[in-house]
Amino acid sequence: MLSLHAARELHHVNAAQLAAALPQWRPFGRDERDDVIRAVQRWLGGNRAQYDTWQQAWNAWAGATPERAGLVTVPRTRCPDCGGRRYRLRHGRPGVCVTCLNGVRPVRTTALWQPEPACGRATAAPPPEQSTPQLPAVGDRVKVTGVLPDDPSPLEVGDEGTVTWLGPGMGITQIGVCWDSGRTLMLLATDPFTIVSDHQ
């Protein structure tokens, strides 16, 4: 069963964050970021454990602790030397890419432990793409009003928490919530929840 919370969050992890987490892997750009995300997603797909945040999943995937970096192997989907074109220009002439000829090897590198975001510390959030009347603001209280779909470890109906960030997702606004229960699962704008009035 895919760990949906971590899988959702992974889509937001950018190349700069991963470059910092994989300090020995240079150059590190968008292709490298995509390969790493793919590797973690694949690993999540075969894993029964439930991870609330991408950092939890990352640390488990890498086998990293605060004291000790982990070692990971990431398959490459695109040749880093020729960008997948299979030839390189040498003195203005195209020549076969030797890296492709020899087979693009997976990257084996150290992966640093990632601290989990602490609850109660609201971070500056990127504004949502489109603001919908139903969307809460950072600092608002929200309450789960229905069963979250397709979720192996769902929040309970009635769970309440404080919104810590909002961000555009895969076409759906994501809502970061610090739940009173201590969990840090995000909501999607389409999930069943309500904004709890400050005056109640």
Which spans of this chain sit near Zn ion (rule: CB under 5 A)?
A: 79, 81-82, 97, 99-100
Cβ 83 to Zn ion shortest distance, Å:
7
Q: Are 42 and 90 in contact (CB under 8 A)?
A: no
DSSP, collapsed to helix, strand or coil, labels residue 8 as helix
Query: CB under 8 Å to 146, separation ≥6 — which residues?
Result: 157, 191, 192, 193
Cα separation of 69 and 55, whole Å? Answer: 14
Closer to Zn ion by Cβ: residue 100 or 122: 100
Closest CA to 16 of 3, 4, 5, 27: 27
Closer to Zn ion by Cβ: residue 28 or 179: 28
Closer to Zn ion by Cβ: residue 100 or 125: 100
Cβ 158 to Zn ion shortest distance, Å:
55
Closer to Zn ion by Cβ: residue 30 or 48: 30
Cβ 108 to Zn ion shortest distance, Å:
19
Cα separation of 157 and 147, whole Å? Answer: 6
Residue 97, CA distances (Å) to 27, 35, 77, 79, 183 in order: 18, 20, 15, 9, 49
Cβ 74 to Zn ion shortest distance, Å:
17
